């Protein structure tokens, strides 16, 4: 193989062969990246190479798994008893809440029937476990242990016990990549629960913060407001808690307010996740909620970027 070699070449030689080679390789790499961004070439390559990837991944995640099982095995009995009691109490509370919710649900169904509205199906929920956070901490992706084999599909919402985490970005056979809502290229249509104001929450690159730029100045939004998914666009089921507003201020032009909110979900540290889908919703987007409209223009709200720009 004729490789450019510094052997025998003077220090700092202007080896044009080397530069040309480099340029050629860089051009190939750039072309690959461009093709990959357009067509998802990588995804296919990964599927083809999964026979090699899976064992390596298993080896690499072994230390964490071993550490976890050792921790579990050596956990003190008293600690377990305490934890058990605690969980029992939580379960009780959750059950009480559920009972109440069931009544509300029934009422809701009844009212819907009266209004002759289309019945919505319940949520499909599926448990998934985190395999690894993205290797690059600056890309807000995580890997979960459920894939197309288990019925995961692209765009499915991912939540933890407290709130929305993100959505499925691409699916392999036995695992899937999730883009977190803190990713700068991610946007979620949300609704302020108190007022029904519709806004879009953009990722900020910081797991503890999402941004709500361009909130109309006159809009009613204040610190402490809870943001829930609005369901507009049909990507996320409506009503999932997303974040709480902790800062509202005027932007430079003084025509819009800019709000910042803290995600409720433990984006950086949840390891048990739920995949949530609402199939009826995925097929036909909800009609806009009849809250007073103070958000961005109708067209804007609907065309807003729902998917991460690839």
130 bridge partner residues? 144
Q: How far is the CB of 37 from another protein (least distance, A)?
A: 6
Of the pair 31, 223, the CB lying nearest another protein is at 31
Q: How many Å from the N-terminal Cα to the C-terminal Cα in the chain? A: 37
> Least distance from C-beta 200 to another protein, angstroms?
15
Q: Kindly state the smallest distance separating residue 255's Cβ from another protein, in Å.
A: 24
59 versus 254: smaller Cβ distance to another protein = 59
What is the C-alpha separation between 130 and 124, in angstroms, rounded?
A: 19
How far apart, in Å, are the Cα atoms of 135 and each of 60, 141, 152, 249?
12, 9, 22, 35
Q: What is the dihedral angle through the alpha carbons of 158, 123, 228, 302, rounded to the nearest 10 degrees? A: 90
User: Which 8-state DSSP code applies to residue 265?
Assistant: S
Residues within the interface to another protein (CB under 8 A): 1, 3-7, 9, 11-12, 15, 18-19, 21-22, 25-26, 28-33, 35-37, 41-42, 45-46, 49, 52-53, 56-57, 59-61, 63-64, 132-133, 135-139, 177, 184-185, 204-206, 268-269, 309-310
Supply the minimum distance, in Å, between the C-beta of residue 160 and another protein.
15
The residue among 22 and 149 lying less far from another protein, judged by its C-beta, is 22
Calculate the alpha carbon distances from 142 to 29, 89, 174, 238, 290 in Å: 25, 31, 14, 23, 35
The nearest distance, CB 19 to another protein, in angstroms, is: 8
Instruction: Output DSSP code: residue 33.
Output: H
Closer CB to another protein, residue 207 or residue 231?
207
SS3 assignment, position 89: helix
Q: In angstroms, what is the minimal distance from the CB of 305 to another protein? A: 11
Q: 39 or 90: whose CB is closer to another protein? A: 39
CB of 36 to another protein, least distance (A): 4
Q: Which is nearer to another protein, 216 or 266 (CB)?
A: 266
Sequence-ordered list of residues with C-beta below 8 angstroms from that of 175, at least 6 positions apart, any chain = 131, 143, 144, 145, 146, 147
Q: Are 260 and 209 in contact (CB under 8 A)?
A: yes
Which residues, listed in sequence order, are joined to residue 201 by a DSSP beta bridge?
188
Nearer to another protein, 1 or 254 (CB): 1
């Amino acid at each position: 193989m004729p490789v450019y070699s510094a052997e025998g070449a003077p220090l700092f030689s202007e080896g044009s062969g080397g530069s040309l080679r480099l340029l050629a390789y860089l051009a190939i790499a750039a072309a690959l990246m461009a093709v990959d961004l357009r067509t998802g070439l990588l995804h296919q390559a990964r599927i083809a190479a999964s026979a090699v990837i899976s064992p390596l991944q298993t080896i690499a995640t072994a230390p964490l798994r071993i550490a976890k099982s050792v921790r579990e095995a050596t956990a003190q009995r008293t600690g377990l008893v305490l934890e058990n009691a605690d969980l029992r109490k939580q379960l009780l509370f959750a059950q009480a809440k559920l009972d109440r919710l069931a009544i509300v649900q029934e009422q809701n169904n009844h009212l819907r029937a009266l209004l002759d509205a289309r019945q919505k199906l319940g949520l499909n929920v599926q448990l998934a476990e985190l395999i690894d956070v993205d290797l690059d901490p600056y890309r807000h992706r995580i890997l979960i242990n459920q894939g197309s084999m288990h019925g995961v599909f692209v765009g499915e919402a991912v939540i933890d016990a407290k709130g929305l985490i993100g959505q499925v970005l691409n699916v392999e056979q036995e695992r899937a990549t999730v883009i977190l809502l803190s990713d700068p290229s991610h946007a979620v249509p949300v609704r302020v629960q108190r007022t029904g104001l519709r806004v879009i929450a953009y990722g900020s690159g910081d797991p503890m913060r999402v941004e709500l730029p361009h909130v109309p100045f006159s809009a009613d939004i204040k610190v402490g407001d809870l943001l829930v998914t609005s369901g507009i666009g049909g990507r996320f089921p409506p009503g999932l808690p997303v974040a709480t507003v902790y800062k509202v201020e005027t932007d430079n032009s003084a025509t819009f307010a800019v709000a910042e909110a803290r995600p409720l979900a433990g984006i950086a540290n949840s390891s048990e996740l739920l995949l949530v889908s609402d199939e009826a919703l995925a097929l036909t987007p909800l009609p806009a909620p009849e809250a007073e409209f103070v958000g961005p223009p109708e067209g804007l709200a609907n065309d807003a970027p729902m998917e991460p720009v690839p």
